Amino acid sequence: MSATNCKVRVLAQDTVAPDIRRLTVAWGEQRPEFAPHAGQFFMLRAWGAAETPVLSRPISIHEVRGPEGALVFLYQVKGEGTQKLAALRPGDILSLTGPCGNGFDAAAAAAKGRVAVVGGGIGVAPLLQLCKELAAAGRKPELYVGFRDEPYALEAFLPYCAAISVATDSGAAGYHGLVTGILHPEEFDLVLTCGPNVMMQGVYKLCAEKGVPCLASLERKMACGLGACLGCTCHTKVGPKTVCQDGPVFPAEEVFDLG
């Protein structure tokens, strides 16, 4: 798997919801072996080597706009690193390392049959590119998304999904409750998910009850993003694995329990 270090120019920075930003950067000049795909991520750094935070920040690929085009990131402003990303303006330069990780294999997923894609909160970030690649492989997925309150960033999914179902904890939109309340895995041949661990655990449990395979994209704090420091190692049922290089996408039964 090839990752590059490069400096890229900011094309746009949009506010999608109060603490959610969409950052678009120019990616046109990169070589084909660095072509990113759904579920992979980049380590982003918009500050100098001697400045804090010490570590770059992992952010998933939200969308790749054409091989010659732009890379889009959707992120939640949480602490110092993402605040510094949020301060970027068009024309500013930032450093990227990536694409990192294994990602989703959309062609293999599409070949399985009917696909459900399940996201929670900012876990929807990697799912746009996933839906786009599934649609390109001839299999528009059904998207199930859960949010605490007002949903965001869903319009971009419309062209690539057969249906979109929304659940909110507050009842602000769609089904009033958890996304697991509207998902029926037996209607699908494969379920792909990204979101809070507790949500993915619930999705996996429903899938396991119905014998439907499930792939989950995990999030861990990580330092290098390249499999070198082993800081993001997680203990799976088939031994220790790095989330940054072996993952972030894993068969759900390897990383979640049914308990």
Ligand X SMILES: Cc1cc2nc3c(=O)[nH]c(=O)nc-3n(C[C@H](O)[C@H](O)[C@H](O)COP(=O)(O)OP(=O)(O)OC[C@H]3O[C@@H](n4cnc5c(N)ncnc54)[C@H](O)[C@@H]3O)c2cc1C
Residues that bind ligand X (CB under 6 A): 41, 53, 57-60, 74-76, 78-82, 122, 125, 219-222, 248
The verdict on whether omega for the bond into residue 99 sits within 30 degrees of 0, i.e. cis, is yes
CB of 128 to ligand X, least distance (A): 10
Choice between 19 and 189, CB closer to ligand X: 19
Choice between 149 and 186, CB closer to ligand X: 149
Choice between 78 and 176, CB closer to ligand X: 78
Choice between 109 and 243, CB closer to ligand X: 243
CB of 94 to ligand X, least distance (A): 14
CB of 248 to ligand X, least distance (A): 4
Choice between 116 and 244, CB closer to ligand X: 244
Choice between 30 and 82, CB closer to ligand X: 82
CB of 229 to ligand X, least distance (A): 13
CB of 79 to ligand X, least distance (A): 2
Task: Write a three-state SS string for the chain.
Answer: CCCEEEEEEEEEEEEEECCEEEEEEECCCCCHHHCCCCCCEEEEECCCCCCCCCCCEEEECCEEECCCCEEEEEEECCCHHHHHHHCCCCCCEEEEEEEECCCCCHHHHHHHCCEEEEEEHHHHCCHHHHHHHHHHCCCCCEEEEEECCCCCCCHHHHHHCCEEEEEECCCCCCEECCHHHCCCHHHCCEEEEECCHHHHHHHHHHHHHHCCCEEEECCCCCCCCCCCCCCCEEEECCEEEECCCCCCEEEHHHHCCCC
CB of 126 to ligand X, least distance (A): 6
Residue in the shown chain whose Cβ atom is closest to ligand X = 79
The two tokens of residue 132 are 């786009």
